[in-house]
Structure 1
Amino acid sequence: MPDPEEITYNVFWKAVQEGKVKKVYLTDEERIKGVFKNGKSFLTDNPRRDDLKEILLRKNIAVDEKAGQIRGSQIIGVVLMMSLFGFLIFTLQRNASKQMQGKPGKSPMNSIQPEKSTVHFDSVAGNEEAKESIQDLVDFIQNPEKYTKYGARLPRGVIFYGSPGTGKTLMAKAVAGEAGVPFFAVSGSDFVQVYVGVGASRIRELFKKARSYGKGVIFIDEIDALGKKRESTDGSGNEERDQTLNALLSEMSGFHDNEGIVVIAATNRLDTLDEALLRPGRFDRHIEIQLPDIRSRLKILKLHAENKPMDKSVNLGKVAQQTVYFSGAKLENLLNEAAILAAKRGGGCIAAEDMDKAFYTVIAGAEKKDRSAIAERDRKVTAYHEAGHALVTRLMVPENRVSRITIIPSTKGAGGFSMNIPPDRMYYRKKDMENSIRIGLAGRAAEELIFGEENVTTGASNDLEKATETILNMVRRFGMNPKSGLLNYDVLYRNGMQQVQDEILQECKNTMDQFYREVQALLQENRRILAAIAENLLARETLEERDLDAILQAYGKEG
């Protein structure tokens, strides 16, 4: 059979009008087929007109209407679409199943058996008060009958709070290690999930497993991830977090007396936790894990130095004096940096120079090696800036040590630094906070004094940030300003009294301006000493404490 003749739609339409078309096959395809009265077949474009069939029938043309054949591309498209939907449904179901049941072998708990635990109170240097506070907890776990005789019950929960790196996790491990019981360590974020109810089920799973061992310590790190205050009353709170917290509270309240299981939680911010967590019967004890004092720092340094080859020149007592406000983790990092530097040097042991370099690396970052691109004017600005900090520190706060001044840029972005080491104190006095602001302003004041107000630089940005934060705390939180009085303005804000904001801002500005004028006057009075320190810095780049002492003594200033 010959192939049909392809004709244009206009030719087809003319043939229809002239009555030359015998039959047309209507389909959904792009082309339609037909037969002329002379028996020849044809193909033409399908106009897809709704009234085409009616027109053809009125012209006495036979119409054969049938569905078009499904093309291969359409079949492939349908198959791909169905496959995609099937894959999405399968993935969602599998993820939901994993969330509800947990991945096999990957529970959020890490159970440390007592025979595997090597952490005891001897492994925790410092924090003697905290260790004493929980010593009876260990005794209670080991000998519960000793306390039940007097009607005492085991504290159901203990919260360790304090600055990051102070050893809260280590202390919790030591409790389990001393008591010789299993240690279950989890993080608060392990229980915060997308699906409502998953966190609560994990809480129940954790406590069920702990009960199966009879005695144990459950440690929940970063408990504020699930135990923050529930302040929302309009139903817009986090339903999953609330359910998880309720499950934790229920499990802790549901413990039988003397069950031998204690829950220890850790947080950096005790004030953010829900009050229901902190009440008696839940977390009975709140123990602060403080930053170590000088004796504790020395113990921590000795503990971490035991497995390191230390040179006789290293004076750990001096290092302990320098590292005021260092946490235990930061002290460990200091010794580790010193060990890395010693290994690079290949000296066989950690020398005093390694410890010294590691100390300033931890504080300010490593020194930049290539300083050729620094303009001489920038070096001079940095020298006077750092000299201002050092001079004001020695003149106004002689009890503070200035252990080093340098104009060598560091990898942390500092153009230089003046290392100011205050003595150990339990509290900050008003005088201390005011002097810290004055020291912070001294760099900018020195720049303005030497180079003029129009040539001050951005080098004081961090100093101004810290000074502003300190003065805000003095006025807003600590009642250390006579005009603002003994009010805590944070409490006023929480009670909707926002109009006091302008008063605080103006008072802070006035006080800061007054301190700045005092610092300017002090530097102007001692301008020759300021210049001498700066010139020595430009010549030597780094001055040690003894170098600064020599300059001050030469000008009759003992500090």
Structure 2
Amino acid sequence: MPDPSPKLPTPDPSDSPRHSGPVRGRGKKGGGRRESGGGRPRSSASLFFAVVIAIGVGLFLFERSNATGKSVSYSRFLQEVRENNVAKVTLKGERISGEWERRPEPKAEFENTFTTVIPLPALGDSVLTALLEEHGVEINGEPTQIETSTYILLYLGMGGAALLVMILILRRSADPMGGGGMIGSFIKSGAKEFREDDKRVTFDDVAGMEQAKGELMEVVEFLKAPEKFTRLGAEIPKGVLLMGSPGTGKTLLAKATAGEAKVPFYSINGSEFIQMFVGVGASRVRDLFKTARETSPCIIFVDEIDAVGRERGSGLGGGHDEREQTLNQILGEMDGFSPSEAVIVIAATNRPDVLDPALLRPGRFDRHIQVDKPNKAGRVGILKVHTRKVPLAAEVDLEDVAAGSIGFSGAELKNLVNEAALHATRAERKAVTMNDFEEARDRVLMGATREEVMSGHERRMTAYHEAGHALIAWVLPTLDPVHKVTIIPRGRALGVTQLLPDEERHHFGERRMRDHLAMAMGGRAAEKLVFDEFSAGAEDDLNRSTQLARKMVAHWGMSEKVGPVAFRQGETHPFLGKEMQTGRHFSDETARQIDDEIRAVLMGASDRATQILSERREDLDRISQLLLERESISREDMGDLLGEREVHPDDAAEAARQEAEDRHRMNGQPGVDAVDAGLDGPNDDADGAAEPSKPEPASVAD
């Protein structure tokens, strides 16, 4: 039985403290980075340039040796001919060589012999021959042929260059897996390596994912003490699949797992396996897993594995498709792990629905961990991690910041802290204040403010549009509270009405959805009510409302005429997100009914919005007037203007339930439910629709 706790390779002292370059195939016996090929490519290149230079010098000297006499200009040559100072000449191509009758003046600059070159326009000119004959010059001619020595020198140069190129190719191809080779570097995996001596990320750096960390602690314990599991015949999962939305910390979680286990960590993106040449992806997979086995125990992390692990059998490219070959190689490598090889493969994706079933079966990625967006406690922990090096003012309460950032992922919270620090820097403050966090949150949710000059009519129309959204959101208690209303252009919008939830929500009922549609139609209804026309600023409202209404009717069964049936449009397709074709599995009559019901839902929402705004026209005018004066109003301003907001009946019932439970608990009795307490519980029909993700702060941009 092999040693259950193999020693980790010792890093070479010559390595830099942090190495994240391509994997070099370090084995257990040497911690240094292996460079295949040594210095041979460099010496071969130097030899090649030396040979080329030698050939050039030889050709130059050879030409100089063929040229006899002092070189003179063609004009001086003709002058000397006319002065009868040329004894004889020899014509060879465009070159003329000959002897003087007497050395021209100044004699120090000339020799007894000379050479000159006929200019291109004068070649073939019979006047030159006549001129030479007229002045009694002896004319000789030689054929323009290449000397034997020139041929020898030319052949030697070409042969030497070809031989040198062949030597370079053979040397670079001799070790295909070498790091310095031409072919070897092309098929290497390119994975970034982080070793034990690097700056480690641990679970202390990861917050808001307690359940996921607990799942991965078993992986850490197996890498540290595998005998704890093997003594009872247990086997640790070979692969762990992290699933979650972008920015939830999947990559950070994988790095923390390797940091806790203190083992090498190889990170690569799934798209790096795919290349234009067939077979390269599979070769890179083999190289990566070969290196991992040599440095085990270790962790391989494949980010965005859906780029290479999508479902096979689509018919595009057939069985020889490069992606399928790469996926087959990954499957084979994961099956090839022996029980003694402590190599864990962790992969991350935000599209688990498109992965090949063979990749998800037990024995491969048999442990699936869902990484969700953090709750309030998780957001507080994440904010504490990211504010370690950020000086905070005494007034800053991270609990309040977390309460106002419902729906934020870990990456978004990090960006929130960074934006707050940048805002404080621009204001030349020494510490980050709550106002900086407020401004940063508005920038993240609504976009940066921009200078936009609007006419008085446009500002007034924008103010009424946003006031319509805000008033309906304030009146309907099922909707999230209004956080801020502004007519300052932000991002691509001329105005924004932002709703910010007070609590985590996991279910969305039909009543709340219909209220949301009425709120979305509020801006358009206000324009029609005040200006008797619609504007193009409601385009985004109509798009979002139509999408929500279509899901209510065709997906969630919230229409009596259509019924409790889910109609999905589009065939599944694994290589294009399962939505390539636009076919449908229902009749034209059903499609017409769906369209009619969607239209009816939207028309009902529009009529409801118009009715609410008509009944509260004075409040609409007051909100719009305040917007024109201040440009931005907050939740507190809305409360001062309209009074306290009505409490939703479900929220009142929940508060009464908690009060009854607390009262009975104090009396030593078990808690009672809402029915026993004589209260109406939540409406089951209203909470019938559930969405898979947590709600994010809503905003209406126009």
Q: Sort the TM-score into its range (normalised by shorter chain).
A: 0.7 to 0.9
Secondary structure of 2:308's match? helix
For 1:237 and 1:414, the matched residues in 2 are separated by 49
Q: Which residue of 1 aligns with 2:633?
A: 543
Within 5 Å, give how 1:378-417 maps onto structure 2. Answer: 378-397=458-477, 400-410=480-490, 412-417=491-496
1:497 equivalent among 567, 585, 588? 585
Match of residue 439, structure 1, among 492, 506, 519: 519
1:431 positional shift:
3.1
Q: Is the 8 A contact 1:144 1:258 kept in 2?
A: no
After TM superposition, give the deviation of residue 151 of structure 1 in Å. Answer: 1.6
Contact 1:492 1:498 survives alignment (8 Å):
no
2:444 counterpart of 1:362: yes
What residue is the counterpart of 2:13 in the other structure?
A: none
Is residue 239 of structure 1 aligned with residue 317 of structure 2? no
Partner of 1:102: 185
Alpha-carbon distance change, 195 to 498 in structure 1, aligned in 2, over 3 angstroms: farther
Change in CA separation of 1:245 and 1:345 when aligned onto 2, cut-off 3 Å: same
Q: Secondary structure at the match of 1:367?
A: coil
How far off is 1:480 after superposition?
A: 3.3
8 Å CA contact 1:140–1:146 kept in 2: the answer is yes
Alignment partner of 1:101: what SS? helix
User: What pairs with 1:324-473 in structure 2 (closer than 5 Å)?
Assistant: 324-368=406-450, 370-371=451-452, 373-397=453-477, 400-410=480-490, 412-422=491-501, 423-452=503-532, 455-473=533-551
Q: What's 1:268 paired with?
A: 350
1:84-134 CA-partner distances (Å, limit 9, x unpaired): xx9xx99xx999998852259x85111101231421111111011111222
Selected match of 1:528 from 618, 634, 644: 618
Aligned-residue offset at 1:470: 2.0
Change beyond 3 A, Cα 1:240–1:395: same
User: Do 1:153 and 1:258's aligned partners in 2 also have CA atoms closer than 8 Å?
Assistant: no
Deviation at 1:488, TM superposition (A): 2.8
Alignment of 1:9-408 (within 5 A): 100-102=183-185, 108-233=190-315, 236=318, 239-368=321-450, 370-371=451-452, 373-397=453-477, 400-408=480-488
- Paired position in structure 2 for 1:479: 557
Q: CA RMSD in A?
A: 3.3
The range that moved more, 394-403 or 336-345, is 394-403
Letter in 2 for 1:414: A
SS at match of 1:115: coil
| Secondary structure of residue in 1 paired with 2:606 | helix
Q: Do the aligned partners of residues 234 and 180 (structure 1) sit closer, same or farther apart at CA in structure 2, a change above 3 Å counting?
A: closer
Contact 2:189/2:288 (8 A) holds in 1: no
C-alpha separation in 2, matches of 1:236 and 1:458? 48
Equivalent residues of 1:446, 1:523 under 8 A apart = yes
Match of 2:50 in 1: none
Contact 1:138 1:175 in 2 (8 A): yes
Instruction: Measure the CA separation in 1 of the matches of 2:570 and 2:447.
Output: 41
SS in 1 for 2:493: coil
Letter in 1 for 2:421: A
1:300-324 CA-to-partner distances (Å, cap 9, x unmatched) read: 1111111101111222222111111
Shift of the 142–477 alpha-carbon distance from structure 1 to 2, 3 Å rule, reads farther
> CA offsets per residue over residues 229-263 of structure 1, 9 Å max, x none?
22424755771101000000111111112521111
Aligned 8 A contact 1:406 1:418 in 2: yes
Q: Between 466-475 and 376-385, report the one with greater CA deviation.
A: 466-475
SS of alignment partner, residue 285 of structure 2? helix
**Preserved CA contact (<8 Å) 1:157 1:263:** yes
TM-score, scaled relative to structure 1 = 0.78
Q: Which one of the candidate residues 608, 614, 623 is aligned to 1:518?
A: 608
Q: How far does residue 382 in structure 1 lie from its aligned partner after superposition?
A: 1.0
Q: Which segment drifts farther, 304-313 or 237-246?
A: 237-246
- Contact 1:382–1:407 (Cα < 8 Å) also in 2: yes
Distance 1:279 1:185 in 2: 23
CA distance in 2, matches of 1:433, 1:123: 38
1:263-299 deviation line (CA, Å, top 9, x unaligned): 1111111111111111111110111110111111111
Inter-CA distance 347–127: structure 2 relative to 1 (3 Å threshold): same
The structure-2 alpha-carbon separation of the partners of 1:464 and 1:134, relative to structure 1 and needing over 3 Å to count, comes to same
Between the aligned residues of both structures, percent identity stands at 40
**DSSP 3-state at the match of 1:116:** coil
Q: Does the residue aligned with 2:345 lie in a helix, a strand or coil?
A: strand
The verdict on how the C-alpha distance between 1:524 and 1:346 changes in structure 2, with shifts beyond 3 A counting, is same
3-state SS, counterpart of residue 102 of structure 1:
helix
Following TM superposition, by how much is the alpha carbon of 1:505 offset from its aligned partner in structure 2, in angstroms? 2.7
Contact 1:218–1:262 under 8 Å retained in 2 = yes
- Structure 1 residues 395, 347: closer, same or farther in 2, change over 3 A? same
Tell me, in whole angstroms, the C-alpha distance in 2 between the residues paired with 1:486 and 1:209. 54
CA drift of 1:486 comes to 3.2
> Quick one: which amino acid aligns to residue 201 of structure 2?
V
Secondary structure in structure 1 of the residue aligned to 2:213: helix
Letter in 2 for 1:420: L
For 1:337, the aligned partner's letter is E
**Unpaired stretches in structure 1, ≥5 consecutive residues:** 1-32, 34-68, 70-85
Q: Is the 8 A contact 2:557 2:564 kept in 1?
A: yes
Aligned residue for 2:117?
none
Taking the aligned partners of 1:278 and 1:488, their CA distance within structure 2 comes to 27
Supply the AA of the counterpart residue of 1:510.
Answer: A
Residue number in structure 2 paired with 1:12: none
Size of the aligned set, in residue pairs, is: 476
8 A Cα contact 1:292 1:328, kept in partner? yes
Specify whether residues 340 and 210 from structure 1 end up closer, same or farther in structure 2 by C-alpha distance, changes over 3 A only.
same
SS in 2 for 1:543: strand
Residue type of the partner of 1:497?
H
Secondary structure of 1:405's counterpart equals strand
Structure with greater helix percent: 1
* Structure 1 residues 168-218: Cα deviation after superposition (integer angstroms, max 9, x where no partner): 100111111111111110000110100000000000110111111121111
**Contact kept? 2:557, 2:566, Cα under 8 Å:** yes
Cross-structure match for 1:488: 566
- Is the CA contact (8 Å cut-off) linking 2:189 and 2:285 kept in structure 1? no
> How far apart are residue 391 of structure 1 and its match?
1.1
Structure 1 residues 17-72: Cα deviation after superposition (integer angstroms, max 9, x where no partner): xxxxxxxxxxxxxxxx9xxxxxxxxxxxxxxxxxxxxxxxxxxxxxxxxxxx9xxx
Q: Distance in 2 between matches of 1:457 and 1:237?
A: 54
Is the Cα–Cα contact under 8 Å of residues 189 and 287 in structure 2 kept in the other structure?
Answer: no
CA distance in 2, matches of 1:473, 1:117: 48
